A and B are shown apart, each in its own frame.
Chain A
Amino acid sequence: MSEPPRLLGDPSATPFERDLLASWDTEQPSASARARALAVAGAAAGTLAAAAGTAAGTAPKAAAAGAGALTKWAVVGAVIASTVGAGVVVALTRAPQSETAAPAKAPATTLAVPVVSTPIAEPPTVSPADLPTAPASVSITPAPSTPRARASAGESTLSEEIASFDRARAAFDAGSADQAIALVDAYEKRFPSGTFIQEAEVLRVEALTRKGDRDGAHRVGQRFLAAHPTSPHAARIRAILHASTP
């Protein structure tokens, strides 16, 4: 497969187009954004040592900072996450209740997997997530609907998982709260320890809120907050519940 030259360096691009593409160079994360991600990832996983190990492997200078500095960042990061983060999320998700119609432009599903309308009776699959104590040597039975047959076992399970969750999200984006909830049920049944289990619960709360089931939304939301008080999604859940409280 030949690689076409990048547009930015291609004579066929107009100067205007080159200006547009070159403006991308201004996108760089700040050091504090990186520190926060490092801190929260480490703190959330309870694997500060692992994080330090990774940092040492890829950036020798980071190792010099030592575990003490990492621990400090973890605390700072967690505090920032629960204050600044909450504020931003609250500000941005304040209006779900007033939304009555589907978004004007629902984001397309990001996977090239057809969105099915009946998610029932998905074939049983053994996923590594089902067997947390033996993730390395699990034998996987690929589902007949495996979207990409050549993917390795782990990738294909993840692909299926993403596709399954994407279907729920797409249903919600298309304005169908009931179907979104049914698809969240299907996702959680199939991937009980799934990667997006928390996102699925957030989606459930949003969908319940949208269909006017305030009690249901509060029940699920409170259960989430009790189980995952430090999750970054906790702020979002609180915002949704807050917005739906009369």
Chain B
Amino acid sequence: MVDGHFDFIWRSLRGLGVPSAMIDDAAQQVFWTASQKLDTIVVGSERSFLFATARGVAANARRSRLRSRELPDEEAVASYADHSPDPEQVAASRQARRLLDRILDGLPEELREVFVLYELEGQTMAEIATLLATPTGTIASRLRRAREEFHTAARRHQANRGNET
């Protein structure tokens, strides 16, 4: 169970907003919880079970993060622009990654998870529908809305970045 699903669950937790400082503990918690319930997990639905657990764990982690620090979006973007004007590719990728986090944080939860699963994790509509126990049509419409919000946010951040430099 761990071997077959660990990478997916780990990245899903990241995509659902678990900060990197907490990610390994969060992943461990998901598999620990699942291991307590091995006998009740329906064969074939392990992934759904793990993902459902991951959503709960991610919600907890976000709550902790909200408690520990509240960083306004603009401030975060400004500090990102200040600290990393370096054009080097690694730094640029790190910047982009951080900005992607900010944009995902701005999406409503139900849009965020569909966006992460489809655009970042490359799951199919059918797989996502099974994972979330939600009709495919609903998934498709969430994806559309998520993309619109992603485009809008990306445009805004790009404009902000233009103003900084």
Contacts and interface: CB of A to CB of B under 8 A. Distances in A.
Real binding pair = yes
Interface of A: 1, 3-4, 6-8, 14, 16-17, 19-24, 26-30, 32-34, 36-38, 40-42, 44-45, 47, 50-51, 54-55, 58-59, 62, 77, 81, 85, 88-89, 92-96, 99, 103-105, 107-110, 112, 128-129, 132, 135, 148, 151-152, 154-155, 158-159, 162, 165-166, 169, 173, 195-196, 198-199, 231-233
A28 to B, nearest CB: 7
Interface of B: 1-4, 6-7, 10-11, 14-15, 21-25, 27-42, 45, 48-49, 52-53, 55-56, 59-60, 62-68, 70, 92-94, 96-97, 99-100, 103, 108-110, 113, 118-120, 122, 124-126, 133-134, 136-138, 140, 143, 147, 150-151, 154, 158
A41 B24 contact: no
Given A14-B154, A17-B150, A45-B35, A92 B64 contact: yes
A135 B27 CA distance: 26
B133 A148 contact: yes
Given A41-B2, A93-B67, A110-B109, A24 B120 contact: yes
Contacts of B138: 112
A135 B39 contact: yes
Contact of A55 (B2, B14, B70, B92): B2
Given A95-B67, A112-B138, A26 B6 contact: no
19 contacts: A3-B125, A21-B119, A26-B94, A29-B6, A33-B23, A37-B28, A37-B30, A45-B35, A54-B1, A55-B2, A92-B21, A154-B40, A154-B42, A154-B45, A158-B48, A158-B49, A199-B60, A231-B32, A233-B29
B125 A45 contact: no
Nearest to B100: A20
Contacts of B21: 88, 92
A34 B154 contact: no
B117 to A, nearest CB: 11
Contacts of B134: 112, 148
Which DSSP category, helix, strand, loop or mixed, fits chain A's interface? helix
A232 B29 contact: yes
Which DSSP category, helix, strand, loop or mixed, fits chain B's interface? helix
Nearest to B111: A108
Nearest to B99: A20
A135 B40 contact: yes
Q: Which 10 A-B pairs give the minimum distances between C-beta atoms?
A: A154-B42, A45-B35, A23-B96, A23-B97, A41-B35, A29-B10, A108-B109, A41-B31, A33-B24, A37-B31
B2 A54 contact: yes
A214 B47 CA distance: 38
B163 to A, nearest CB: 14
Contacts of B15: 24, 27
Given A93-B67, A96-B67, A110-B59, A51 B2 contact: yes
A3 B118 CA distance: 10
Residue among A32, A50, A55, A199 with the most chain B CB within 10 A?
A199
A108 B96 CA distance: 25
Residue among B22, B59, B126 with the most chain A CB within 10 A?
B59
B3 A58 contact: yes
B100 A38 contact: no
Contacts of A14: 154, 158
Given A33-B27, A199-B60, 20 more contacts: A1-B126, A7-B147, A14-B158, A23-B96, A24-B100, A34-B10, A37-B30, A85-B25, A103-B66, A105-B66, A107-B62, A108-B110, A110-B110, A112-B134, A112-B138, A135-B39, A151-B133, A166-B56, A198-B36, A232-B25
